[in-house]
């Protein structure tokens, strides 16, 4: 199948009942003079561009165990992928997937959209955006006004991709007026951050944020701390910062990993920046002042932190220093939460619950409440069912993409924290149907789940379990200001 885009013709390949177009450039390569600069429109090409293979992904640590590990890493990574059954008289809703990975890893190829296209009548788009230092390094204080927005280049990439969707998705059978943005983890944080950015206004109709909100937006002071640490790892003085414009990208990533390997100070290295230009200095306040915001489906999982605790030995016992690394100036509030939970729960459960609550739940509640105040509809969920580590981080994605497969070796796979047992097949089907209903109709209510009220009026939450139910109010006993992360 050949499609005409604003830059030229693209040729896709047939796959699992749909067509996929991989590696379509949505912006110019951010190299040379464009490094650390906002994205620009892609150059046009002549002839038909072969889009059978994924394009290069953003520079990052090369994990040989990751999905599709052999993809090329490049600064020329601003490309996207489209799955569709083809042009249509009745345009279909569009889902734009923003990958997670802590703002330092991941790729648009992490999720296959063929089922959405072939089974769910959705045009599915996934994208790459700049990561780590190349996407979120704040340089305004040391390189001047020309780089004042550099801390949000990764977000500006996403916005540029959404502009591409508005201009081109109709040719693929998609409806530019019915675009849903969906993200998990850091992808959910990017999705939530779009609500704070005027540049994103009108580019999507609604959004789904799975385990992430605006809690990773950093203030400029904190962002500058990361910049200083990266310069130190590169052996550069602040007055030598202009060398960042010319150093090989691999060298930047190596320095980034060096800083990240220091467990005493490695979290919240990267993410969006409240620079007062692209993102307001008080993001949540700016949302409350807006009107006519896109509806939001948002939620978290009961045991978000268990996966991090399982894999990170530094998190496996309560420690005040760990909380300083995770929460900066808010560490004492989190320790107080842990202490209170310890009065009624085993220490390990109290620790996991306190971390889950302050890393994810409270940020989710704050964003939901800010959007609800404007009168825009919010639906909230809490996933209670889980695997060997409970409803751990990312488990909702495992359910939504679950497919029954009798050939699976359950004895081997059951040790995987994200493995879904056959007993959860009905829940998995219900969740996927609710998400798809939201994409199609702007409302997640379906017949096989209880009536799902909006969060706005009674703070109602859909508790997703083998037997799902609605609970009023998920507000934790202790709050914490997550509007902007500060060191």
Measure the CA–CA gap between 331 and 253, rounded to whole angstroms: 29
Query: Catalytic one among 185, 211, 352, 468?
Result: 185
Q: Are 182 and 97 in contact (CB under 8 A)?
A: yes
**Nearest alpha-carbon partner for 277 in 181, 371, 147, 188:** 147
- Neighbour count for residue 86 (Cβ, 10 Å): 13
3-state helix, strand, coil in the chain (%, to 5): 40, 15, 45
Q: How far apart are CA 128 and CA 57, in angstroms?
A: 6
Annotation marks residue 304 as catalytic: yes
What's 375's DSSP letter? T
Residues 403 and 420: beta-carbon distance below 8 Å: no
> How many Å apart are CA 429 and CA 406, to the nearest integer?
17
Active site residue 185: yes
Identified catalytic residue from 75, 304, 357, 369: 304
At what angle are helices 220-234 and 249-260 packed, to 10 degrees? 110
Q: Are 417 and 310 in contact (CB under 8 A)?
A: yes
Contact 253, 104 (CB under 8 A): no
Q: What are phi and psi of 182, to 5 degrees?
A: -130, 135
Q: According to DSSP H, which parts of 289-402 are helical?
A: 306-311, 320-327, 331-342, 347-356, 362-373, 395-400
In DSSP terms, which residues pair with 14 in a beta bridge? Answer: 19
DSSP H helix total and E strand total for the chain: 17, 16
From 99, 268, 393, 482, the catalytic residue: 393
Q: Clarify whether 393 is annotated catalytic.
A: yes
CA-closest candidate to residue 141, choices 227, 218, 217, 216: 227
Residue 335 CB coordination number (10 Å)? 18
Residues annotated as catalytic are 185, 304, 393
């Amino acid at each position: 199948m050949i499609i005409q885009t604003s830059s030229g013709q693209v040729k896709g390949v047939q796959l699992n009942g749909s067509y996929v177009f991989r590696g379509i450039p949505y912006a110019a390569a951010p190299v040379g003079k464009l490094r650390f600069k906002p994205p620009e429109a892609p150059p046009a090409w002549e002839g038909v561009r072969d889009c059978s293979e994924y394009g290069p992904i953003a520079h990052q640590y090369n994990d040989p165990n990751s999905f599709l590990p052999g993809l090329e890493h490049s600064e020329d990574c601003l490309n996207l992928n489209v799955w569709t059954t083809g042009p249509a008289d009745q345009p279909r809703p569009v889902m734009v997937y923003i990958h997670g990975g802590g703002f330092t890893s991941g790729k648009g190829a992490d999720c296959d959209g063929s089922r959405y296209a072939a089974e769910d009548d959705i045009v599915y788009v996934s994208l790459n955006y700049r990561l780590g230092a190349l996407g979120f390094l704040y340089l305004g204080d040391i390189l001047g006004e020309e780089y004042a927005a550099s801390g949000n280049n990764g977000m500006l990439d996403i916005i540029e991709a959404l502009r591409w969707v508005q201009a081109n998705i109709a040719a693929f059978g998609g409806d530019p007026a019915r675009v849903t943005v969906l993200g998990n983890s850091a992808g959910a944080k990017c999705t939530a951050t779009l609500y704070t950015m005027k540049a994103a206004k009108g580019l999507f109709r609604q959004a789904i944020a799975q385990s992430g909100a605006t809690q990773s937006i950093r203030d400029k002071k904190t962002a500058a701390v990361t910049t200083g640490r990266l310069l130190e790892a590169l052996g550069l003085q602040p007055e030598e910062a202009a060398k960042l414009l010319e150093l090989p990208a691999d060298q930047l990533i190596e320095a980034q990993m060096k800083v990240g390997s220091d467990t005493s100070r490695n979290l919240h290295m990267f993410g969006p920046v409240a620079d007062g230009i692209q993102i307001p200095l008080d993001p949540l306040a700016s949302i409350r002042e807006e009107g006519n915001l896109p509806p939001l489906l948002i939620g978290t999982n009961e045991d978000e932190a268990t996966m991090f605790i399982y894999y990170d030995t530094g998190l496996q016992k309560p420690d005040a220093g760990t909380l300083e690394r995770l929460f900066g100036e808010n560490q004492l509030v989190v320790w107080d939460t842990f202490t209170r939970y310890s009065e009624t729960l085993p220490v390990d459960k109290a620790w996991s619950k306190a971390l889950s609550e302050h890393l994810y739940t409270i940020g989710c509640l704050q964003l939901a409440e800010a959007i609800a105040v404007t009168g825009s509809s919010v639906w909230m969920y809490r996933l209670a069912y889980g695997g060997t580590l409970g409803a751990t981080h990312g488990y909702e994605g495992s359910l939504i993409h679950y497919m029954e497969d009798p050939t699976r070796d359950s004895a081997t796979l059951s040790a995987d924290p994200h493995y879904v047992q056959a007993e959860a097949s009905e829940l998995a089907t219900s969740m996927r149907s609710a998400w798809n209903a939201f994409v199609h109709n702007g409302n997640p209510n379906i017949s096989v789940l209880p009536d799902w009220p909006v969060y706005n009026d009674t703070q109602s939450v859909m508790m997703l379990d083998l037997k799902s139910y609605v609970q009023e109010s998920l507000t934790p006993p202790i709050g914490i200001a997550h509007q902007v992360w500060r060191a």
